[in-house]
């Protein structure tokens, strides 16, 4: 039995969990999901719905004097979710739990004597909570390729020694570009589900600045998001995206050249990824902020990039490598 904790913010955590759980099921392994999210369609095993721990009107000392990220005092949801996880561990006796992501959940699971595989995100992770929780994890999985340098900063060497960069993990199969369709070139904007992307006024200025391009915007903020952007990606000549791991994995899987504009995230997560992309020879143009002009020339330049160069970022084997790390940790002898 393997557990997989899925953080409820954004969509990337859930997409990764689904990919890993389905691959595990094909190998005859049982995976139980633990999350405040409702059970997703297609989840192959049990799903434990956890109470939310962020419903209080005012969170009281949530960082425990800077030692944790989120553990507010007196929160009924936090108390109940911790109890649910503890009860499940006692009953299921999992061989391993994957945590994607929560430093507090890593500690909770490890304090129950259960091996932990923690997904680690890019950026500066040298704060006390990260250093401690990543330090106790048995293995760390990073969904970027080993050749993407500088993605994880400010952590001790012993933590880096347990890091396994498995490459970008996309829920979509690899799909190289086909024959160019007739008609105007198309640009797809991925604003995503958890960020602070460009406003409608910025998008409108970009459209006006590139009248020869046909624009499509997928954004929860603007009410145009879709849970399956695959067909939009297939039709795009250029994708304008934030630097979230899930979005980049999907752009890379469909081998589309991209313009990457990192969004604000804690720990410099997306800016760190953007810097690695800018110096790694990937088929992207990286902009520090949403550009205010020159969109026509910028899109034309991006369209000349060879999307096949994404093969070094996403080769289609990340899920299996991820699961191999989990299997190694789960198979380590632990007293019954």
User: Which residue did the predictor score with more confidence, 297 or 332?
Assistant: 297
113 lies in the same domain as 214: no
- pLDDT tens profile 304-318: 999 999 999 999 999
Section 327-336 average pLDDT: 76
Range of the domain at 34: 2-167+317-331
Section 220-225 average pLDDT: 82
125 lies in the same domain as 204: no
The three-point CA angle 268-269-272 to 5° equals 75
Say if 174 falls within a structural domain.
Answer: no
137 lies in the same domain as 256: no
152 lies in the same domain as 195: no
Structure token pair of residue 308: 């096949």
Q: How far apart are CA 143 and CA 279, in angstroms?
A: 18
Q: How far apart are CA 131 and CA 112, in angstroms?
A: 20
232 lies in the same domain as 292: yes
28 lies in the same domain as 114: yes
Say if 216 falls within a structural domain.
Answer: yes
| pLDDT value at residue 53 | 95
Say if 95 falls within a structural domain.
Answer: yes
Cβ partners under 8 Å of residue 333, min gap 6:
none
- pLDDT tens profile 198-220: 999 999 999 999 999 999 999 88
Say if 265 falls within a structural domain.
Answer: yes
Say if 55 falls within a structural domain.
Answer: yes
Count of alpha carbons within 13 Å of 113, Cβ hemisphere only? 6
Q: How confident is the model at residue 332 (pLDDT cuts 50, 70, 90)?
A: low
Section 25-44 average pLDDT: 96
How, if at all, do strands 238-241 and 214-219 pair?
unpaired
Neighbouring-strand partners of residue 100: 6
60 lies in the same domain as 127: yes
51 lies in the same domain as 162: yes
* Residue 323, domain CATH: 3.40.50.2000
| pLDDT value at residue 319 | 97
Residue whose entry in the numeric block shows the structure tokens 């005092």: 73
- As a whole-number percent, the residues of the chain with pLDDT over 90 amount to 88
Neighbouring-strand partners of residue 219: 192
159 lies in the same domain as 249: no
Element (H, E) at 269: helix 269-278
Structural domains of the chain, count = 2
| pLDDT value at residue 280 | 80
- As a whole-number percent, the residues of the chain with pLDDT over 70 amount to 97
91 lies in the same domain as 129: yes
Say if 154 falls within a structural domain.
Answer: yes
Say if 14 falls within a structural domain.
Answer: yes
225 lies in the same domain as 279: yes
| pLDDT value at residue 178 | 73
The answer on pLDDT for 57 being more than 90 is no
327 lies in the same domain as 284: no
């Amino acid at each position: 039995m393997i557990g997989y904790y899925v953080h409820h913010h954004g969509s990337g955590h859930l997409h990764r969990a689904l990919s890993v759980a389905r691959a595990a099921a094909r190998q005859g392994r049982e995976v139980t999901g633990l999350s405040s999210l409702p059970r997703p369609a297609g989840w192959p095993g049990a799903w434990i719905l956890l109470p939310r721990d962020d419903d209080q009107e005012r969170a009281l000392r949530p960082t425990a004097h800077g030692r944790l990220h989120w553990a507010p005092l007196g929160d009924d949801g936090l108390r109940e979710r911790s109890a649910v996880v503890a009860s499940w561990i006692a009953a299921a006796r999992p061989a391993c739990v994957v945590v994607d992501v929560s430093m507090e959940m890593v500690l909770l699971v490890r304090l129950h004597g259960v091996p932990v595989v923690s997904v680690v995100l890019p950026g500066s992770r040298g704060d006390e909570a990260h250093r401690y929780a990543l330090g106790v994890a048995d293995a760390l999985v990073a969904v970027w390729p080993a050749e993407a340098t500088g993605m994880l900063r400010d952590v001790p060497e012993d933590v880096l020694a347990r890091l396994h960069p498995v490459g970008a993990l996309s829920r979509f199969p690899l799909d190289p570009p086909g024959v160019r369709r007739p008609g105007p070139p198309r640009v797809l904007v991925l604003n995503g589900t958890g960020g602070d992307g460009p406003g409608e006024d910025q998008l409108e200025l970009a459209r006006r600045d590139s009248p020869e391009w046909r624009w499509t915007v997928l954004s929860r903020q603007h009410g145009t998001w879709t849970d399956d952007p695959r067909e939009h990606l297939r039709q795009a000549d250029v994708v304008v995206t934030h630097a979230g791991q899930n979005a980049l994995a999907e752009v890379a899987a469909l081998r589309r050249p991209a313009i990457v504009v990192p969004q604000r995230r804690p720990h410099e997560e997306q800016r760190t990824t953007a810097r690695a992309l800018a110096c790694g020879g990937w088929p992207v143009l990286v902009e520090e902020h949403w550009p205010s002009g020159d969109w026509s020339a910028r899109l034309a330049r991006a369209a000349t990039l060879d999307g096949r160069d994404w093969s070094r970022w996403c080769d289609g084997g990340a899920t299996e490598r991820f699961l191999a790390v989990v299997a190694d940790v789960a198979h380590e002898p632990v007293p019954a």
